[in-house]
Amino acid sequence: MSEPIPVSRAVDHGTAKLMPDVDRDRAWLLTVDGAPQSYVDLDEPEHLEFEYARRLGHALDVAAGPGRALDVLHLGGGALTLPRYVAATRPGSRQDVIEADRGLLGLVTEHLPLPPASGITTHAADARAWLRAAPADSADVVIADVFGGSRVPAHLTSLDYAREAERVLRPDGLYLANLADATPFTFLRSQLANFAALFEHLALIAEPAVLRGRRFGNAIVLASHTPLPTAALTRRTAADAFPARVERGTALSEFIGAARPLSDTDAVPSPEPPAGSFGIG
C-alpha cells in the first residue's frame, strides 16, 4: 500500500493543506494558511486530537442520554471532525454542516469522504444566512466553530446573531461555540454578554492559563434555557491531558463584568491571534 501524501490546494480563503499523521494510518491534519484547523482519524472518528475539540466533544456527550440521536447544526465545517464524532457516538443523528468556503468543503469531502449513511449533509453557505432561513425549534444543538482565516467574522458576533441561533434551537437545546481571546478578554466578555441576554444558563470552559491571562487560547461557550450538566463537564475536562476549568454562576457573572451585548452595528471580528499562537513548524 502506498504511503499517503500531503495535499495542498488554493481554496476560497487561503491555501488549505491536508497532511497525513505518520503515527495513525488514516489520520489527517487540515491547515489553512499554516494554521491548524482540524484533525480527523477516518478509522477512529471518536478520537479528538485538539483540546478545544475534546471539550466540545465532552459537551456533546453530556447534552443528552448516551447514544441518543440528535439534530445538530454545525456552523463551520473544517475537516468535519465533530460531525463524524456525533455520527459515531450518536448513530442516527441528523446533522447539517454549513461551510462558507466552498473550495475547502470540496477538498475535504473529496479526500476525506464521509462514511455511507452518516446522516451528515454539507452545505456551502454563509452561517448567518443559513440561520436566518432555518426553521424555528429545529435543532437540539447548534455548534459555532466559524473562522474566516484565524478570526470569527463580525456578523457572527452580535446579539442579533445570537438571537437567530436561539430561535433555531429547541426549548431544551444547547448552543456551543469555540472562540479565542486573551486578556483583557474584551471580545470573549462581549460574546458571553450576548448569550447571557438570551439564555438563563451559561458556562465557559477554558484552561486556567488562558483564564488567568497568561496566553491567548480557545474558550468554549455553552448556553441553554435548561440547567447545564456542569458537574459532569467539570469531571471530564479536569481529566484531560490539558485540564480545563468550567466557569458558571457568580464566577462567570463576575468575569463578564460590565460587558454589554453588541448590535450588528457595533460587532467586530474576534482578535487576531498573536504570531505563532496556533501555527505549526
Give yes or no for a cis peptide into 171 (omega within 30° of 0): no
In one letter, which amino acid is 178? N
**Under 8 Å between Cβ of 229 and 118:** no
**Residue 111 CA from chain centroid, whole number:** 22
**How far, in Å, CA of 146 to CA of 41, rounded?**
21
Cell numbers 440528535 correspond to: 70
Q: How confident is the model over 40-94, as pLDDT tens digits? A: 999 999 999 999 999 999 999 999 999 999 999 999 999 999 999 999 999 999 9
Q: How confident is the model over 195-205, as pLDDT tens digits? A: 999 999 999 99
- Of the candidates 221, 127, 219, 131, which has an alpha carbon nearest to the alpha carbon of residue 169? 131
Non-local (6+) Cβ contacts of 213 within 8 A are 182, 183, 184, 185
pTM score > 0.85 for this model?
Answer: yes
SS3 104: helix
In one letter, which amino acid is 26? R
For β-strands 169-181 and 139-144, DSSP reports them as parallel
Non-local (6+) Cβ contacts of 274 within 8 A are 182, 216
Which helix (DSSP H) or strand (DSSP E) does residue 105 occupy?
Answer: helix 102-111
pLDDT per residue rounded down to tens, the chain (281 residues): 567 899 999 999 899 999 999 999 899 999 999 889 999 999 999 999 999 999 999 999 999 999 999 999 999 999 999 999 999 999 999 999 999 999 999 999 999 999 999 999 999 999 999 999 999 999 999 999 998 878 999 999 999 999 999 999 999 999 999 999 999 999 999 999 999 999 999 999 999 999 999 999 999 999 999 999 999 999 999 999 999 999 999 999 999 999 999 999 999 999 999 876 654 43
